[in-house]
Structure 1
Amino acid sequence: MNYDTLTIAIADKVATVTLNRPELRNAFNEQAIAELALVFDELGRNELVRAIVLAANGPAFCAGADLNWMKKMAGYSHDENLADASRLADMLRTIYLCPKPTLAKVQGDCYAGGMGLVAACDIVVAAEGVNFCLSEVKLGLIPATISPYVIKAMGEQAARRYFISAERFDAAAALRMGFAHEVVVPEQLDTTVAGIVKSLVSNSPHAVVEAKKLVREVVDLPVTDALLLDTAGRIAAIRASNEGREGVASFLEKRKPSWLN
């Protein structure tokens, strides 16, 4: 499909989804939200894709909401605002629940809703010099729809500060609080992302899907008999799966597994 707000490229089992409104600092509107939801749903079901990189064109990664969209929202009724916010929430959930591993490549400043896009991804690599900001309260708003993902990514204590202060923080601070996994000089951003992606696509596709689910469904659960039974059942099932059997056999036989052929 052709997209107006994104560009899509697929090569070597990796899909790169690029926010492509550089003149607007890649701020998103209704169309961008709809296109992001559609493309992550489609790529999540594409058997030729093993990893997805979310990137951006231009000096900014994403400035949050488009001003023209915000002007339109100012005249919405409560029901219209609810429907609009629900579409954004659904898009973020689609990225978060995407079965393929997702990596945000943050080359420029990332504000407000843009932080939700990043936080919904599995891995975050940012360039030095990038600034982040949860700026909603400056406008009399709150970062509600992005909060489930941002709080998971930066932790409750950091969220308590930045949700209410709207202070900017740099990539080094994002790394310290766990919002970013790696921070590199801009010249190394492409190489670093390529190295991580190479690791992702070399792994068992089925195991990666199940590993993502494992983190999502086990985090914060108490260690009970039910949890022990659940996790034992998961490893038993994957040991008996085709890729599980192939992975162990290839290791013992000192050969490449079939998914690398």
Structure 2
Amino acid sequence: MYDTISINTDARGVATLTLARPEKHNALSAQMIAELTDAANMLGQDDTVRVVVLTGEGKSFCAGGDLAWMQEQMAADRETRFSEARKIATMLYALNTLPKPLIGRLQGNAFGGGVGMTSVCDVAIGVDTLTMGLTETRLGLIPATIGPYVLVRMGETMARRVFMSSRLFGAEEAVSLGLLAKAVSADDLDKTVEAEVIPYLTCAPEAIARAKALTRRLGTPINDDVIDHTISELVACWEGQEAKDGVAAFFEKRPAPWIKQTSSD
């Protein structure tokens, strides 16, 4: 049914939604974005599904947006840019409002959009060896469409520590920032995720859905105006020279033009 993701549901109704582009570190391509949106809608409407676990194949949970896809947007017309930016915003919104518990199982690193994918989970557990980072500004981009979810998860004070600098950080700091609920050994990952799943299987599914919707209604609003603004900001970056220079430098394996010597030696 899908090429870039997989879904497996056990007899209890626990669905495991897996990002399945390990050769690309589960980077979010146009196809994966579309498939994740469809999967979120399908899982949300399936009464047999009680809990969804989001994870990835291979060494990385999610390396962020596929840079080849972003490069295509820089060369596209303006209408296409807005359309493609809206697709990723729609995918994030669909996962964030999924009327089922969404538990992140981070078996590896998460960068950029991968931090956004972590932030739309109701709770996220990661291996204690992982590295995370909002790395967009290294490329002349910004954490745009993921921004509302990252800010809700971390709060502005915490977010400002890592939102603009592209600084990498480990699992322990990810816990302190609020991105991860727990950081555990790889051997304990499944056991710890299962401990998050079990309580939901004793709760009324409709009550869970209503309670989750209520948290979003009472929390910081992520409405159409907010989403439209993030889309406009992403497109503005795609249209700017810095993103063109940054992404080109990445593919050509050379320093971006703004990189300065970090040592006085």
Q: Structure 1 residue 106: deviation in Å?
A: 0.5
SS in 2 for 1:121: coil
User: C-alpha offsets along residues 130-170 of structure 1, whole Å, 9 cap, x if unaligned?
Assistant: 11110111111111100010111111012222121110011
User: C-alpha offsets along residues 95-134 of structure 1, whole Å, 9 cap, x if unaligned?
Assistant: 0011011011001000001111111111111110111110
CA contact (8 A) 2:123 2:180 kept: yes
Q: Aligned-residue CA RMSD in angstroms?
A: 1.2
CA contact (8 A) 2:13 2:50 kept: yes
Cα separation, 2, equivalents of 1:164 and 1:113: 14
Cα separation, 2, equivalents of 1:184 and 1:215: 27
Match of 2:184 in 1: 184
Match of 1:15 in 2: 15
Cα separation, 2, equivalents of 1:204 and 1:183: 29
Match of 1:3 in 2: 2
* Aligned partner letter, 1:35: E
Match of 1:210 in 2: 210
- Find out whether 1:93 has 2:93 as its counterpart: yes
Cα separation, 1, equivalents of 2:87 and 2:220: 27
User: C-alpha offsets along residues 39-97 of structure 1, whole Å, 9 cap, x if unaligned?
Assistant: 01100010000000001000000101123212312212222211111000000000001
Cα separation, 2, equivalents of 1:220 and 1:63: 27
Q: Structure 1 residue 220: deviation in Å?
A: 5.6
**Displacement over 6 Å in runs of 4+:** none
Q: Map 1:154-193 onto structure 2 (within 5 A).
A: 154-193=154-193
- When structure 1 is superposed on structure 2, of 195-204 and 50-59 the one drifting more is 195-204
Q: Structure 1 residue 25: deviation in Å?
A: 0.4
> Gapped runs of 5+ residues in structure 2?
222-265
The total of aligned residue pairs comes to 220
> Gapped runs of 5+ residues in structure 1?
222-261
Cα separation, 1, equivalents of 2:48 and 2:72: 39
Identical pairs, percent = 39
**Cα gap change, 1:77 to 1:220, in 2 (>3 Å):** closer
Cα separation, 1, equivalents of 2:154 and 2:169: 12
SS in 2 for 1:104: strand
Match of 2:236 in 1: none
Cα separation, 2, equivalents of 1:60 and 1:206: 33
Q: TM-score, normalised by structure 1?
A: 0.82
Instruction: Considering Cα pairs closer than 8 Å and 6+ residues apart, tell me whether 1 or 2 has the greater RCO.
Output: 2
* Aligned partner letter, 2:116: G
SS in 2 for 1:167: coil
